[in-house]
Structure 1
Amino acid sequence: MTGPASSFRDPSTLLVHVELQQLRNHVVQFAACPSTTPRNLGKLNCLTESSVPFSRPLIKVLGLLYYQRPRATPSPGVLHPSSCLSSHYSRAPLIVTRFRFRLSSLTLSPNNFFSASPPSLARSASRSAPLAPAPTYLVKPAITTHLAAVYGSRTNTRYRQPPFAPSHTLDFGYLHHRATRHMAVFAPETRNGADSIAINGIPPAAYVNGNGNLAHRLKMERKQSSPMMPAFMVSAPGKVIVFGEHAVVHGKAAIAAAISLRSYLLVTSLSKSRRTVSLRFPDIDLQHTWNIDDLPWATFQHPSKKKSYYDLVTELDPDLVAAIQPNLAEISPHKSDQVRKVHQNSASAFLYIFLSLGHQSFTGCLYTLRSTIPIGAGLGSSASIAVCLAAALLLQLRTLSGPHPDQPPDEARLQVERINRWAFVCEMCIHGNPSGVDNTVSTQGKAVVFQRTNYSKPPAVRPLWDFPELPLLLVDTKQAKSTAFEVAKVGKLKKTHPELVGSILDAIDKVTVAADTLIGNEAFDNEEEESLRKVGELMTINHGLLVSLGVSHPRLERIRELVDHEGIGWTKLTGAGGGGCSITLLKPDVPKDKLNRLESQLEDEGYEKFETTLGGDGVGVLWPAVLKNGMDEDNEGGMEIDQESFLNADGNEGVEKLVGVHGGVGEREGWKFWRVESH
């Protein structure tokens, strides 16, 4: 970057730093530091086309920083590419926002920065004093990067977002940042940095406190867990196969989608003196505690074994698996062999990624998990747990920069993939050779099309990022089933009648393709009866073909009979069949009395019903573990979720009411998700 390094006048509420650093390419970073109290208004505002010669695409508004609360508080989101949006808080979370833009030259016009207190751009502009001519900096080569900004409370840590670690989707480097109690954004230290340009004589590496004094520069290396980290929660959904069961075993495509039944993991940090890590899963009666210093860190930290959070792990290391066996020996010694195996597999999955990602200096923690997903029903309950564990550990290690409202799609995909990779490692510990489909759906949400033509390789998975949310009735038959038995039964039938069974499998594949095409069409409306009817008809056809393969069950057929009698939707089995669960796509505006009659009939006959949603969000974060539940922000903060209240929640209904993403009344304030849309 070349050009004059002259200073320009500070409008009393904002100091701006521009620093050029050499990573693998040039990266420009902007840092904004309010120099007065947060009750005053600071703005980083409107570097527009007229004042900044951007090459296309143009981001007209780089950002706003507000610290004043109006009557109505909008949802967080300070940066927007087309208009000056703001979020007003007297006690706000720390929010990190980032925008990708291409820059060829930069003009720092003093008229772009205002100091007026009302949130009005026009009034602010009129009160700005005339300032010196703007210096222009030429950027060679032109660069593509992100803007980073942070706003929030410098005194109330209870409402802060996680101090997110560096994350960047561009190949040439990371955008580093950290928020402190003085609400500063910092450029990282680098040994290969280009010369920095200081405006107002303030070094770009420094921050300014409320009195305008320089404070020491914080280093940006990624830390391990913080002893002051607040309790937080992670949630991930279960899944159902919507189309393509059994055909997928024979190389055809299938569609799996997330459901709104979810697992919830509460992570509670312990004091420095408590050097233990505890795993508590009351739904499967698992509770165990390890001394952190007794775990096999030396084996996992050996240079030949050590894994980084961004590594792709496709198989378990036998030496690492062997190293944790002594730590599994004392788990549930008085349980039956079958229960003990489940407990040890769950603990093995946790310890493997805990030791792979963590460090011996890791803070002691309690990991408490509750799930509303029926276990052993083919609904991806183990994958949901795996995703929760992976996301929680990555958050503790500060390796995820999200979720947040303005996260670029490419970055969100990167974060989702990082969680998915380590969830797959957990799944390998539990199942040995999983397909990876369950954890993929649970991580990203929505739906996927998957196909496995070569069983020596993982299946090909194509995300359906724009899969719509559909109303679903899920019914558990409570009939025990064996996936291996049902798969073998179809295989034997195909061997006996290859052409006939082959044509049935081909027909199932055509149904899957038709459903993919229908739902992906721009004209598809998930609230319009005609669109739902077409999907429902495909579900009915798919079920009929599965019945012809002999994988249904009288209890599954009874559900279809009851649903058809009430005329409320379209039903098919999901999964391997032979028992397990059915799914019913509900018609729009189903009368409540019909649902009540059906529920009563199902309960009388020993079924369990779940009203859920198909194609919802994937992994989500509640940081900190506080739900406001519609309370006013001036209240000291809604309801804090602690381990006692979490464990005392009564059944699925109690868990959903206490911490549920939806809580029965729409999306709950506080939960945030990595949401990705198709290109």
Structure 2
Amino acid sequence: MKNLQVKVMTREILSTAPAKVILCGEHAVVYGEPALVTAINLKAYCRLTETKTGKIEIVSKNLGKSMSYTLDSREEPSKNELYPILRSLLHILDKFDKRVSARIEISSEIPVSAGLGSSAAVPVACSAALYYLINGKLDREAIMEAAREAEKIIHGRPSGIDTMIATFGGVYAYRKFEEPIKIDVPKDFPKILVIDTGVKRSTGALVERVRKLKERYPKVIDPVIHAIGRLTIEAIYAIFDRDYERLGELLTLNHRLLSAVGVSHEQLDLIVKTAVENGALGAKLTGAGGGGCAIAICYEEHVEHVINALKAQGFKCFSVNVSEDGVTIEE
């Protein structure tokens, strides 16, 4: 009898999740105020390959780091920069009571520690790939829940806004414990510019800074937090009315309010000043602040002038588009 060769098919799944910018409402959203957020066309990528090693292996091309965890091990995994992703994956395995081994390769277009949601997009993409491997479909709520396990480790008290937008895409009004409301953005919406200060910072530390300030001076800070929430609602109405000059003014005002709660930075202030003086409708920090990125909105005819002015100050600046796609899967 001839030897029979059996070819074992290895499943490979590709997933992506988008970056985000918060148009209005960061920090206030932690305390139950609304925020306005959009997915943008920068992506995190995950390539999951099913293996028979009994391990979860994670490799990050951008960070140049890797980790491996034996699924039947009773030891705690090493807590390096990839540990939060592992926690999201283990959350899914526990949900299905499975011990599926896989190699996960991560790459990303999203700058790290810049306020663009990298720490949410990566675990969302990874969680989606593993969930699909086990279940053969996407359950976005379950994927978002798993990815939040990573965010809790990284940020301590995340609002949930980053994982939501990385999962669903589009533009949403978001408030904790309420159903997000999808916002239809008009086709003539101004261009969004993202400007990177190059200053790294910790979201968790900045959230904690605001919390401490709020506890120390509640009668001062609580009204500022509420004003940011009210401003976000006004910004949504401005979009509905296609009143982009008003929207720009509100974005710049949002930056000043965020500065009042201690999360701006001299480089962010310089970006806002430069952008507005050179034709932007408005500008502000985006995300946690303290460095990271700012955004500006401007009409198409002013984009080049605003970008050149910002580059002359030494900033990296690029135009992005709203992404209607959330997490996606290919096999």
TM-score normalised to the size of structure 2? 0.81
Query: Which residue is equivalent to 2:201?
Result: 481
Query: Which residue is equivalent to 1:38?
Result: none
Q: Please state whether the residue corresponding to 2:104 is helix, strand or coil.
A: strand
- Alpha-carbon offset, residue 507 of structure 1: 2.6
Distance 1:446 1:485, change over 3 A: same
- Alpha-carbon offset, residue 448 of structure 1: 3.1
Distance 1:615 1:535, change over 3 A: farther
Query: Which residue is equivalent to 1:587?
Result: 299
Amino acid at match of 1:255: L
1:463 aligns with 2:239: no
**Unaligned runs of at least 5 residues, structure 1:** 1-225, 297-322, 330-339, 402-414, 453-458, 525-530, 625-679
Distance 1:509 1:556, change over 3 A: same
Query: Which residue is equivalent to 2:165?
Result: 441
- Alpha-carbon offset, residue 533 of structure 1: 2.6
Aligned alpha-carbon RMSD (Å): 3.3
- Alpha-carbon offset, residue 599 of structure 1: 5.5
* Whole-angstrom CA distance in 1 between matches of 2:258 and 2:211: 13
Alpha carbons 2:54, 2:71 under 8 Å: kept: no
Distance 1:494 1:565, change over 3 A: same
More helix by share: 2
Query: Which residue is equivalent to 2:12?
Result: 231
**Alignment counterpart, residue 566 of structure 1, candidates 278, 291, 306:** 278
Query: Which residue is equivalent to 1:611?
Result: 319
**Alignment counterpart, residue 234 of structure 2, candidates 514, 520, 533:** 514
Query: Which residue is equivalent to 2:268?
Result: 556
Query: Which residue is equivalent to 1:390?
Result: 127
Q: Please state whether the residue corresponding to 2:82 is helix, strand or coil.
A: helix
- Alpha-carbon offset, residue 515 of structure 1: 1.7
1:379 aligns with 2:158: no
Alpha carbons 1:450, 1:460 under 8 Å: kept: yes
Q: Please state whether the residue corresponding to 1:552 is helix, strand or coil.
A: coil
Correspondence list, 1:20-31, <5 A: none
Correspondence list, 1:51-130, <5 A: none
**Alignment counterpart, residue 246 of structure 1, candidates 22, 27, 37:** 27
Query: Which residue is equivalent to 1:652?
Result: none
* Whole-angstrom CA distance in 2 between matches of 1:243 and 1:266: 33
**Alignment counterpart, residue 251 of structure 2, candidates 526, 539, 556:** 539
TM-score normalised to the size of structure 1? 0.43
Alpha carbons 2:154, 2:204 under 8 Å: kept: no
- Alpha-carbon offset, residue 512 of structure 1: 0.9
Amino acid at match of 2:308: R
Amino acid at match of 1:228: M
Alpha carbons 1:467, 1:615 under 8 Å: kept: no
- Alpha-carbon offset, residue 482 of structure 1: 4.5
* Whole-angstrom CA distance in 2 between matches of 1:482 and 1:284: 17
* Whole-angstrom CA distance in 1 between matches of 2:220 and 2:156: 33
Query: Which residue is equivalent to 1:346?
Result: 85
Aligned length: 323
Q: Please state whether the residue corresponding to 1:245 is helix, strand or coil.
A: coil
- Alpha-carbon offset, residue 417 of structure 1: 2.2
* Whole-angstrom CA distance in 2 between matches of 1:443 and 1:436: 11
1:264 aligns with 2:1: no
* Whole-angstrom CA distance in 1 between matches of 2:75 and 2:184: 43
- Alpha-carbon offset, residue 369 of structure 1: 0.7
Amino acid at match of 1:567: G
Q: Please state whether the residue corresponding to 1:341 is helix, strand or coil.
A: coil
Deviations 1:318-351 (A, max 9, x none): xxxxx6644x24xxxxxxxxxx532333333334
- Alpha-carbon offset, residue 274 of structure 1: 6.1
Query: Which residue is equivalent to 2:67?
Result: 288
Amino acid at match of 1:577: G
* Whole-angstrom CA distance in 1 between matches of 2:289 and 2:244: 24
242-251 vs 485-494, greater mean Cα deviation: 485-494
- Alpha-carbon offset, residue 428 of structure 1: 4.2
Distance 1:465 1:357, change over 3 A: farther
- Alpha-carbon offset, residue 484 of structure 1: 5.2
Q: Please state whether the residue corresponding to 2:80 is helix, strand or coil.
A: helix
Amino acid at match of 1:511: L
Query: Which residue is equivalent to 1:598?
Result: 309
* Whole-angstrom CA distance in 2 between matches of 1:231 and 1:506: 47
**Unaligned runs of at least 5 residues, structure 2:** 1-6
Q: Please state whether the residue corresponding to 1:378 is helix, strand or coil.
A: coil
Alpha carbons 2:155, 2:204 under 8 Å: kept: no
* Whole-angstrom CA distance in 1 between matches of 2:129 and 2:153: 18
- Alpha-carbon offset, residue 583 of structure 1: 0.9
* Whole-angstrom CA distance in 2 between matches of 1:345 and 1:324: 18
Distance 1:228 1:512, change over 3 A: same
Alpha carbons 2:48, 2:130 under 8 Å: kept: no
* Whole-angstrom CA distance in 1 between matches of 2:56 and 2:324: 32
Query: Which residue is equivalent to 2:4?
Result: none
Distance 1:275 1:468, change over 3 A: farther
Distance 1:448 1:496, change over 3 A: same
Alpha carbons 1:352, 1:426 under 8 Å: kept: no
* Whole-angstrom CA distance in 2 between matches of 1:464 and 1:493: 32
Amino acid at match of 1:438: D
Alpha carbons 2:18, 2:323 under 8 Å: kept: no
Distance 1:357 1:423, change over 3 A: farther
- Answer 1 or 2: higher relative contact order, Cα 8 Å, separation at least 6: 2
* % same residue: 30
Amino acid at match of 1:533: E
Amino acid at match of 1:440: M
Correspondence list, 1:199-238, <5 A: 228=9, 231-238=12-19
* Whole-angstrom CA distance in 1 between matches of 2:22 and 2:38: 6
Distance 1:500 1:467, change over 3 A: same
Distance 1:570 1:325, change over 3 A: farther
Distance 1:467 1:391, change over 3 A: farther
Alpha carbons 1:566, 1:598 under 8 Å: kept: yes
Alpha carbons 1:353, 1:425 under 8 Å: kept: no
Correspondence list, 1:128-207, <5 A: none
Q: Please state whether the residue corresponding to 2:81 is helix, strand or coil.
A: helix
- Alpha-carbon offset, residue 374 of structure 1: 1.6
* Whole-angstrom CA distance in 2 between matches of 1:566 and 1:464: 32
- Alpha-carbon offset, residue 464 of structure 1: 1.4
